[in-house]
A and B are shown apart, each in its own frame.
Chain A
Amino acid sequence: MLLKAQQLSAKRGDTLLFQGVGFELSQGHWLQVKGQNGVGKTTLLRMVCGLFSPVPSYLEDEKKGLQDQTEIWWKNTPLSETRDVFHQELIYLGHALGLKEELSALENLRVLCAIQGQSLGSQKALVALHAMGLKGREHLPTRVLSQGQRRRVALSRLIVQDASLWVLDEPFVALDSEGIDLLLGLIQDHLSHGGALLFTSHQAVNFSAPGDVLELRA
Protein backbone atom coordinates (compact mmCIF):
# COMPACT_ATOMS: atom_id res chain seq x y z
CA MET A 1 0.00 0.00 0.00
CA LEU A 2 1.58 3.28 -1.09
CA LEU A 3 -0.92 5.78 0.25
CA LYS A 4 -3.84 5.34 2.60
CA ALA A 5 -6.14 7.94 4.13
CA GLN A 6 -9.03 7.66 6.53
CA GLN A 7 -11.61 10.00 8.04
CA LEU A 8 -10.49 13.14 6.22
CA SER A 9 -12.73 16.14 6.76
CA ALA A 10 -12.27 19.68 5.54
CA LYS A 11 -13.76 23.02 6.49
CA ARG A 12 -13.63 26.32 4.63
CA GLY A 13 -14.53 28.96 7.19
CA ASP A 14 -17.67 27.56 8.79
CA THR A 15 -18.72 25.44 5.82
CA LEU A 16 -18.01 21.75 5.97
CA LEU A 17 -16.73 20.71 2.56
CA PHE A 18 -16.60 16.95 3.01
CA GLN A 19 -16.20 14.57 5.91
CA GLY A 20 -15.15 11.03 6.59
CA VAL A 21 -13.36 10.57 3.27
CA GLY A 22 -10.94 7.68 3.02
CA PHE A 23 -9.14 5.89 0.20
CA GLU A 24 -6.30 3.52 -0.58
CA LEU A 25 -3.82 3.77 -3.41
CA SER A 26 -1.39 1.00 -4.34
CA GLN A 27 1.60 0.97 -6.65
CA GLY A 28 0.60 1.03 -10.30
CA HIS A 29 -2.93 2.23 -9.45
CA TRP A 30 -4.72 5.50 -10.11
CA LEU A 31 -7.48 7.27 -8.23
CA GLN A 32 -9.66 9.90 -9.83
CA VAL A 33 -11.42 12.36 -7.51
CA LYS A 34 -14.74 13.51 -8.95
CA GLY A 35 -17.43 15.86 -7.77
CA GLN A 36 -19.24 19.11 -8.41
CA ASN A 37 -17.49 22.47 -8.45
CA GLY A 38 -16.63 23.65 -4.97
CA VAL A 39 -17.06 20.26 -3.34
CA GLY A 40 -13.42 20.24 -2.23
CA LYS A 41 -11.48 18.20 -4.78
CA THR A 42 -8.52 20.55 -4.78
CA THR A 43 -8.68 20.79 -0.98
CA LEU A 44 -8.52 17.00 -0.70
CA LEU A 45 -5.47 16.85 -2.96
CA ARG A 46 -3.71 19.64 -1.06
CA MET A 47 -4.58 17.92 2.21
CA VAL A 48 -2.91 14.72 1.05
CA CYS A 49 0.21 16.71 0.14
CA GLY A 50 0.25 18.40 3.54
CA LEU A 51 -0.69 21.89 2.37
CA PHE A 52 -4.03 21.92 4.15
CA SER A 53 -4.80 20.64 7.64
CA PRO A 54 -7.73 18.26 8.05
CA VAL A 55 -10.40 18.91 10.65
CA PRO A 56 -9.95 16.30 13.37
CA SER A 57 -12.77 13.78 13.61
CA TYR A 58 -13.06 12.32 17.08
CA LEU A 59 -14.36 8.93 18.00
CA GLU A 60 -15.16 7.74 21.51
CA ASP A 61 -12.80 4.98 22.63
CA GLU A 62 -13.68 3.09 25.80
CA LYS A 63 -10.15 2.95 27.16
CA LYS A 64 -8.45 6.07 25.84
CA GLY A 65 -11.35 8.50 25.66
CA LEU A 66 -11.68 10.72 22.58
CA GLN A 67 -9.34 9.70 19.76
CA ASP A 68 -8.63 11.59 16.55
CA GLN A 69 -9.32 9.15 13.72
CA THR A 70 -7.89 11.33 10.95
CA GLU A 71 -4.75 9.82 9.48
CA ILE A 72 -2.82 9.57 6.25
CA TRP A 73 -0.24 6.81 5.81
CA TRP A 74 2.64 6.77 3.35
CA LYS A 75 4.02 3.25 2.89
CA ASN A 76 2.31 2.23 6.16
CA THR A 77 3.94 5.01 8.20
CA PRO A 78 1.85 7.94 9.44
CA LEU A 79 2.58 10.91 7.21
CA SER A 80 3.49 13.18 10.12
CA GLU A 81 6.54 10.99 10.80
CA THR A 82 7.76 10.57 7.26
CA ARG A 83 7.00 13.90 5.65
CA ASP A 84 10.47 14.61 4.22
CA VAL A 85 10.72 11.18 2.58
CA PHE A 86 7.17 11.58 1.29
CA HIS A 87 7.94 14.97 -0.26
CA GLN A 88 10.95 13.48 -2.01
CA GLU A 89 8.69 11.00 -3.79
CA LEU A 90 5.87 13.41 -4.57
CA ILE A 91 5.12 15.63 -7.53
CA TYR A 92 2.21 17.98 -6.93
CA LEU A 93 0.84 20.09 -9.78
CA GLY A 94 -1.92 22.45 -8.75
CA HIS A 95 -3.95 25.09 -10.54
CA ALA A 96 -1.08 27.52 -10.15
CA LEU A 97 1.82 25.89 -11.93
CA GLY A 98 4.70 27.32 -9.93
CA LEU A 99 6.33 28.86 -12.99
CA LYS A 100 8.16 32.19 -12.82
CA GLU A 101 7.17 34.47 -15.68
CA GLU A 102 10.61 36.09 -15.92
CA LEU A 103 12.43 32.77 -16.22
CA SER A 104 12.67 30.66 -19.34
CA ALA A 105 11.06 27.24 -19.63
CA LEU A 106 14.45 25.58 -19.13
CA GLU A 107 15.32 27.66 -16.05
CA ASN A 108 11.88 27.06 -14.54
CA LEU A 109 12.16 23.33 -14.98
CA ARG A 110 15.63 23.17 -13.45
CA VAL A 111 14.68 25.35 -10.47
CA LEU A 112 11.55 23.30 -9.75
CA CYS A 113 13.64 20.13 -9.71
CA ALA A 114 16.25 21.81 -7.50
CA ILE A 115 13.59 22.81 -4.96
CA GLN A 116 12.68 19.13 -4.77
CA GLY A 117 16.33 18.41 -4.03
CA GLN A 118 17.14 16.92 -7.43
CA SER A 119 19.88 18.23 -9.66
CA LEU A 120 18.83 18.33 -13.30
CA GLY A 121 21.37 18.63 -16.13
CA SER A 122 20.35 21.03 -18.89
CA GLN A 123 20.71 18.26 -21.50
CA LYS A 124 18.15 16.07 -19.75
CA ALA A 125 15.88 19.08 -19.22
CA LEU A 126 16.05 19.99 -22.91
CA VAL A 127 15.17 16.45 -23.96
CA ALA A 128 12.11 16.56 -21.69
CA LEU A 129 10.98 19.95 -23.03
CA HIS A 130 11.37 18.71 -26.60
CA ALA A 131 9.36 15.60 -25.73
CA MET A 132 6.58 17.88 -24.48
CA GLY A 133 6.56 19.66 -27.86
CA LEU A 134 8.34 22.81 -26.73
CA LYS A 135 11.21 22.70 -29.19
CA GLY A 136 12.31 26.25 -29.98
CA ARG A 137 10.57 27.65 -26.88
CA GLU A 138 13.11 26.48 -24.30
CA HIS A 139 14.79 29.84 -23.81
CA LEU A 140 11.76 32.11 -24.10
CA PRO A 141 10.52 33.76 -20.92
CA THR A 142 7.46 31.86 -19.70
CA ARG A 143 5.60 35.19 -19.85
CA VAL A 144 5.26 34.94 -23.62
CA LEU A 145 4.04 31.33 -23.68
CA SER A 146 0.37 30.41 -24.04
CA GLN A 147 -1.59 28.74 -21.24
CA GLY A 148 -1.27 25.34 -22.89
CA GLN A 149 2.47 25.78 -23.40
CA ARG A 150 2.92 26.78 -19.76
CA ARG A 151 1.08 23.61 -18.76
CA ARG A 152 3.46 21.65 -20.93
CA VAL A 153 6.47 23.24 -19.22
CA ALA A 154 5.08 22.30 -15.80
CA LEU A 155 4.22 18.80 -17.00
CA SER A 156 7.82 18.28 -18.18
CA ARG A 157 8.62 17.71 -14.52
CA LEU A 158 6.78 14.41 -14.80
CA ILE A 159 9.40 13.24 -17.31
CA VAL A 160 12.54 14.34 -15.49
CA GLN A 161 11.75 14.07 -11.81
CA ASP A 162 11.94 10.84 -9.83
CA ALA A 163 8.71 10.43 -7.87
CA SER A 164 6.47 7.49 -7.11
CA LEU A 165 3.33 9.52 -6.43
CA TRP A 166 1.88 12.09 -8.82
CA VAL A 167 -0.83 14.36 -7.48
CA LEU A 168 -2.31 16.28 -10.41
CA ASP A 169 -5.10 18.82 -10.11
CA GLU A 170 -7.03 19.07 -13.39
CA PRO A 171 -3.98 18.14 -15.49
CA PHE A 172 -5.85 18.12 -18.81
CA VAL A 173 -7.02 21.74 -18.61
CA ALA A 174 -5.77 24.02 -21.41
CA LEU A 175 -4.05 21.17 -23.26
CA ASP A 176 -4.81 20.47 -26.92
CA SER A 177 -5.67 16.93 -28.02
CA GLU A 178 -2.05 16.20 -28.87
CA GLY A 179 -1.00 17.42 -25.42
CA ILE A 180 -3.64 15.26 -23.76
CA ASP A 181 -2.32 12.22 -25.64
CA LEU A 182 1.22 13.07 -24.52
CA LEU A 183 0.12 13.32 -20.91
CA LEU A 184 -1.89 10.09 -21.10
CA GLY A 185 1.22 8.37 -22.45
CA LEU A 186 3.31 9.71 -19.56
CA ILE A 187 0.75 8.52 -17.05
CA GLN A 188 0.54 5.02 -18.59
CA ASP A 189 4.33 4.84 -18.46
CA HIS A 190 4.38 6.00 -14.84
CA LEU A 191 1.73 3.48 -13.76
CA SER A 192 3.38 0.59 -15.59
CA HIS A 193 6.62 1.35 -13.73
CA GLY A 194 4.89 0.98 -10.38
CA GLY A 195 4.04 4.64 -9.78
CA ALA A 196 0.72 5.85 -8.45
CA LEU A 197 -1.51 8.70 -9.55
CA LEU A 198 -4.05 10.76 -7.63
CA PHE A 199 -5.86 13.30 -9.79
CA THR A 200 -8.98 15.33 -10.36
CA SER A 201 -10.62 15.72 -13.72
CA HIS A 202 -14.06 16.32 -15.11
CA GLN A 203 -13.15 14.24 -18.13
CA ALA A 204 -13.78 10.53 -18.17
CA VAL A 205 -10.39 8.93 -18.65
CA ASN A 206 -9.51 5.33 -19.19
CA PHE A 207 -6.16 3.87 -18.40
CA SER A 208 -5.27 0.25 -18.98
CA ALA A 209 -3.90 0.17 -15.43
CA PRO A 210 -6.28 -0.63 -12.57
CA GLY A 211 -7.79 2.29 -10.73
CA ASP A 212 -10.77 3.72 -8.96
CA VAL A 213 -13.05 6.76 -8.86
CA LEU A 214 -13.75 8.64 -5.64
CA GLU A 215 -16.98 10.63 -5.66
CA LEU A 216 -16.92 13.58 -3.29
CA ARG A 217 -20.28 14.73 -1.94
CA ALA A 218 -21.03 17.65 0.32
Chain B
Amino acid sequence: MKDKSQNVSLGLFGVFVALLKRDLLLGLRARTEVLTGIFFMVIVASLFPLAIGADLNLLRVIAPGVLWIGALLSTLLTLPRLFEGDHKDGSLEQLALTPSGLHFLVYAKLLAHWLLSGLPLVLLSPLVALQFDLPSELIGTLMLTLLIGTPSLSAIGGIGAALTLGVRGGGVLLSLLLLPLFIPILVFGAGAIEAQAAQLGVGAHLSILGALLLVSWTLGPWACSGALRVALE
Protein backbone atom coordinates (compact mmCIF):
# COMPACT_ATOMS: atom_id res chain seq x y z
CA MET B 1 0.00 0.00 0.00
CA LYS B 2 2.80 2.34 0.91
CA ASP B 3 4.40 4.30 -1.89
CA LYS B 4 8.08 3.84 -1.14
CA SER B 5 9.39 6.53 -3.45
CA GLN B 6 11.17 9.16 -1.35
CA ASN B 7 9.57 12.56 -1.01
CA VAL B 8 11.45 15.54 -2.35
CA SER B 9 12.93 17.70 0.38
CA LEU B 10 11.44 21.20 0.34
CA GLY B 11 14.32 23.15 1.82
CA LEU B 12 13.95 26.03 4.26
CA PHE B 13 12.48 28.44 1.77
CA GLY B 14 9.93 25.90 0.54
CA VAL B 15 8.68 25.28 4.07
CA PHE B 16 8.47 29.03 4.66
CA VAL B 17 6.43 29.58 1.50
CA ALA B 18 4.15 26.60 2.22
CA LEU B 19 3.22 27.93 5.66
CA LEU B 20 2.84 31.50 4.39
CA LYS B 21 0.48 30.26 1.67
CA ARG B 22 -1.49 28.23 4.22
CA ASP B 23 -2.03 31.24 6.47
CA LEU B 24 -3.00 33.51 3.60
CA LEU B 25 -5.44 30.87 2.36
CA LEU B 26 -6.92 30.57 5.83
CA GLY B 27 -7.29 34.35 5.93
CA LEU B 28 -9.07 34.25 2.61
CA ARG B 29 -11.42 31.44 3.71
CA ALA B 30 -12.23 33.11 7.05
CA ARG B 31 -12.67 36.59 5.63
CA THR B 32 -14.77 38.05 8.46
CA GLU B 33 -11.87 37.70 10.91
CA VAL B 34 -9.54 39.62 8.64
CA LEU B 35 -12.10 42.28 7.75
CA THR B 36 -12.98 42.94 11.42
CA GLY B 37 -9.59 44.51 12.09
CA ILE B 38 -9.63 46.59 8.94
CA PHE B 39 -13.17 47.90 9.48
CA PHE B 40 -12.32 48.69 13.09
CA MET B 41 -9.57 51.07 11.98
CA VAL B 42 -11.81 52.69 9.36
CA ILE B 43 -14.68 53.18 11.81
CA VAL B 44 -12.55 54.50 14.68
CA ALA B 45 -10.88 57.00 12.38
CA SER B 46 -14.22 58.04 10.86
CA LEU B 47 -15.83 58.73 14.22
CA PHE B 48 -13.47 61.60 15.02
CA PRO B 49 -14.48 63.95 12.18
CA LEU B 50 -18.13 63.19 12.95
CA ALA B 51 -17.75 63.88 16.66
CA ILE B 52 -15.51 66.94 16.39
CA GLY B 53 -17.27 68.64 13.52
CA ALA B 54 -15.96 70.41 10.48
CA ASP B 55 -13.10 72.31 12.12
CA LEU B 56 -10.52 71.56 9.42
CA ASN B 57 -7.55 73.05 11.24
CA LEU B 58 -8.19 70.95 14.32
CA LEU B 59 -8.77 67.81 12.24
CA ARG B 60 -5.47 68.30 10.42
CA VAL B 61 -3.67 68.60 13.77
CA ILE B 62 -5.13 65.46 15.33
CA ALA B 63 -5.08 63.36 12.14
CA PRO B 64 -1.64 61.69 12.57
CA GLY B 65 -2.36 60.64 16.14
CA VAL B 66 -5.87 59.39 15.44
CA LEU B 67 -4.83 57.38 12.38
CA TRP B 68 -1.90 55.80 14.18
CA ILE B 69 -4.00 54.93 17.23
CA GLY B 70 -6.54 53.38 14.87
CA ALA B 71 -3.86 51.23 13.25
CA LEU B 72 -2.47 50.23 16.63
CA LEU B 73 -5.81 49.22 18.12
CA SER B 74 -6.79 47.36 14.99
CA THR B 75 -3.57 45.32 15.16
CA LEU B 76 -4.20 44.66 18.84
CA LEU B 77 -7.66 43.37 17.94
CA THR B 78 -6.31 40.77 15.50
CA LEU B 79 -3.37 39.58 17.62
CA PRO B 80 -5.14 37.15 20.01
CA ARG B 81 -6.04 34.95 17.05
CA LEU B 82 -2.49 34.82 15.70
CA PHE B 83 -1.59 31.50 17.38
CA GLU B 84 -4.92 30.59 19.00
CA GLY B 85 -6.23 28.52 16.11
CA ASP B 86 -2.96 26.61 15.73
CA HIS B 87 -2.85 25.99 19.47
CA LYS B 88 -6.40 24.62 19.57
CA ASP B 89 -6.26 22.25 16.61
CA GLY B 90 -2.79 20.87 17.31
CA SER B 91 -1.07 22.53 14.34
CA LEU B 92 1.24 24.31 16.75
CA GLU B 93 2.62 20.97 17.95
CA GLN B 94 3.31 20.03 14.36
CA LEU B 95 4.99 23.40 13.76
CA ALA B 96 7.17 22.84 16.83
CA LEU B 97 8.24 19.46 15.42
CA THR B 98 9.46 20.85 12.12
CA PRO B 99 13.07 20.10 11.20
CA SER B 100 13.38 23.73 10.04
CA GLY B 101 13.10 25.15 13.54
CA LEU B 102 10.04 26.80 15.06
CA HIS B 103 11.44 30.34 15.01
CA PHE B 104 11.81 30.12 11.26
CA LEU B 105 8.16 29.20 10.82
CA VAL B 106 7.18 32.01 13.20
CA TYR B 107 8.66 34.37 10.59
CA ALA B 108 6.18 33.02 8.06
CA LYS B 109 3.29 33.37 10.51
CA LEU B 110 4.21 36.95 11.41
CA LEU B 111 4.64 37.89 7.76
CA ALA B 112 1.22 36.42 6.96
CA HIS B 113 -0.26 38.36 9.88
CA TRP B 114 1.19 41.60 8.57
CA LEU B 115 0.03 40.93 5.00
CA LEU B 116 -3.52 40.29 6.26
CA SER B 117 -3.80 42.95 8.96
CA GLY B 118 -1.06 45.56 8.45
CA LEU B 119 -0.78 45.97 4.70
CA PRO B 120 -4.53 46.61 4.20
CA LEU B 121 -4.28 49.45 6.74
CA VAL B 122 -1.38 50.98 4.80
CA LEU B 123 -3.37 50.79 1.57
CA LEU B 124 -6.58 52.14 3.11
CA SER B 125 -4.95 54.97 5.04
CA PRO B 126 -5.13 57.57 2.20
CA LEU B 127 -8.90 57.11 1.97
CA VAL B 128 -9.33 57.49 5.72
CA ALA B 129 -6.95 60.47 5.77
CA LEU B 130 -9.17 62.34 3.29
CA GLN B 131 -11.74 62.80 6.05
CA PHE B 132 -9.13 64.78 7.99
CA ASP B 133 -8.29 67.04 5.05
CA LEU B 134 -4.64 65.97 5.12
CA PRO B 135 -2.62 67.50 2.25
CA SER B 136 -1.30 64.97 -0.25
CA GLU B 137 2.38 65.13 0.80
CA LEU B 138 1.37 64.34 4.37
CA ILE B 139 -0.68 61.39 3.14
CA GLY B 140 2.49 60.09 1.49
CA THR B 141 4.38 60.37 4.77
CA LEU B 142 1.50 58.72 6.62
CA MET B 143 1.60 55.73 4.28
CA LEU B 144 5.37 55.50 4.57
CA THR B 145 5.33 55.54 8.38
CA LEU B 146 2.58 52.92 8.45
CA LEU B 147 4.51 50.80 5.95
CA ILE B 148 7.61 50.83 8.18
CA GLY B 149 5.76 50.82 11.50
CA THR B 150 3.01 48.20 11.20
CA PRO B 151 5.40 45.26 10.58
CA SER B 152 7.01 46.10 13.94
CA LEU B 153 3.57 45.99 15.53
CA SER B 154 3.10 42.47 14.13
CA ALA B 155 6.50 41.24 15.33
CA ILE B 156 6.29 42.72 18.83
CA GLY B 157 2.62 41.77 19.04
CA GLY B 158 3.53 38.19 18.15
CA ILE B 159 5.59 37.93 21.34
CA GLY B 160 2.62 39.11 23.39
CA ALA B 161 0.26 36.76 21.58
CA ALA B 162 2.59 33.83 22.26
CA LEU B 163 3.01 34.75 25.92
CA THR B 164 -0.73 34.99 26.56
CA LEU B 165 -1.57 31.86 24.58
CA GLY B 166 -3.98 29.64 26.46
CA VAL B 167 -4.44 32.18 29.27
CA ARG B 168 -8.04 32.82 30.26
CA GLY B 169 -8.93 36.44 29.53
CA GLY B 170 -5.69 36.70 27.59
CA GLY B 171 -7.01 39.54 25.43
CA VAL B 172 -6.95 42.10 28.25
CA LEU B 173 -3.56 40.91 29.46
CA LEU B 174 -2.30 41.12 25.90
CA SER B 175 -3.30 44.80 25.68
CA LEU B 176 -1.65 45.61 29.02
CA LEU B 177 1.49 43.80 27.94
CA LEU B 178 1.77 45.29 24.49
CA LEU B 179 0.57 48.89 24.68
CA PRO B 180 3.72 50.09 26.53
CA LEU B 181 5.88 48.35 23.92
CA PHE B 182 3.89 49.93 21.10
CA ILE B 183 4.42 53.47 22.45
CA PRO B 184 7.77 54.18 20.70
CA ILE B 185 6.31 53.15 17.35
CA LEU B 186 3.25 55.33 17.96
CA VAL B 187 5.33 58.33 19.03
CA PHE B 188 7.71 58.23 16.09
CA GLY B 189 5.07 57.20 13.56
CA ALA B 190 2.71 60.03 14.40
CA GLY B 191 5.66 62.33 15.12
CA ALA B 192 7.02 61.92 11.60
CA ILE B 193 3.81 63.29 10.09
CA GLU B 194 3.76 66.25 12.49
CA ALA B 195 7.40 66.98 11.70
CA GLN B 196 6.60 66.91 8.00
CA ALA B 197 3.69 69.30 8.56
CA ALA B 198 6.05 71.68 10.40
CA GLN B 199 8.58 71.41 7.53
CA LEU B 200 11.21 69.90 9.88
CA GLY B 201 12.17 66.89 7.81
CA VAL B 202 11.25 63.31 8.63
CA GLY B 203 14.61 61.57 8.23
CA ALA B 204 15.27 61.07 11.92
CA HIS B 205 11.79 59.72 12.67
CA LEU B 206 11.89 57.31 9.75
CA SER B 207 15.38 56.12 10.73
CA ILE B 208 14.20 55.28 14.24
CA LEU B 209 11.11 53.51 12.87
CA GLY B 210 13.40 51.55 10.55
CA ALA B 211 15.70 50.63 13.42
CA LEU B 212 12.70 49.43 15.46
CA LEU B 213 11.59 47.38 12.46
CA LEU B 214 14.98 45.68 12.15
CA VAL B 215 15.29 44.95 15.86
CA SER B 216 11.73 43.64 16.21
CA TRP B 217 12.01 41.34 13.19
CA THR B 218 15.45 40.05 14.20
CA LEU B 219 14.66 39.28 17.82
CA GLY B 220 10.86 39.01 17.79
CA PRO B 221 10.52 35.58 16.15
CA TRP B 222 13.09 34.07 18.54
CA ALA B 223 11.29 35.41 21.60
CA CYS B 224 8.02 34.35 20.06
CA SER B 225 9.08 30.74 19.47
CA GLY B 226 10.50 30.55 23.00
CA ALA B 227 7.17 31.67 24.41
CA LEU B 228 5.31 29.22 22.17
CA ARG B 229 7.37 26.30 23.48
CA VAL B 230 6.44 27.28 27.03
CA ALA B 231 2.79 27.52 26.02
CA LEU B 232 2.94 24.01 24.54
CA GLU B 233 4.06 22.36 27.80
Contacts and interface: CB of A to CB of B under 8 A. Distances in A.
A85 to B, nearest CB: 7
Interface in B73-112: 85, 88-91, 93-101, 105
Given A94-B90, A97-B90, A114-B18, A49 B8 contact: no
A98 to B, nearest CB: 4
Contacts of B30: 102
B9 A99 contact: no
B19 interface: yes
Contacts of B199: none
B168 interface: no
A212 interface: no
Contact of A95 (B1, B90, B99, B100): B90
A160 B97 contact: no
A96 B89 contact: yes
A116 B99 contact: yes
Given A51-B233, A98-B93, A119 B1 contact: no
Contact of A118 (B2, B7, B25, B96): B7
A218 interface: no
Contacts of B14: 114, 117, 119
Interface residues of A, number: 48
Interface centre among B2, B97, B101 (most CB of A within 10 A): B97
A27 to B, nearest CB: 16
A51 B25 CA distance: 27
28 contacts: A51-B93, A51-B233, A52-B232, A53-B233, A84-B101, A92-B97, A96-B89, A97-B90, A98-B89, A98-B91, A98-B93, A99-B90, A100-B22, A100-B91, A103-B29, A112-B94, A113-B7, A115-B105, A116-B94, A117-B11, A119-B7, A119-B8, A120-B7, A124-B3, A141-B29, A159-B2, A161-B7, A189-B1
Interface of A: 46, 49-53, 84-85, 87-88, 90, 92, 94-103, 107, 110-120, 124, 127-128, 131, 141, 159-162, 185-186, 189-190, 193
Given A95-B90, A159-B2, A186-B2, 17 more contacts: A51-B93, A84-B99, A98-B91, A103-B25, A103-B29, A111-B22, A112-B94, A116-B98, A116-B99, A117-B100, A119-B9, A124-B3, A131-B1, A159-B1, A161-B7, A185-B1, A189-B1
Listed from nearest, the 7 A-B pairs whose CB atoms lie closest are A96-B90, A114-B18, A118-B7, A102-B29, A98-B90, A98-B94, A88-B99
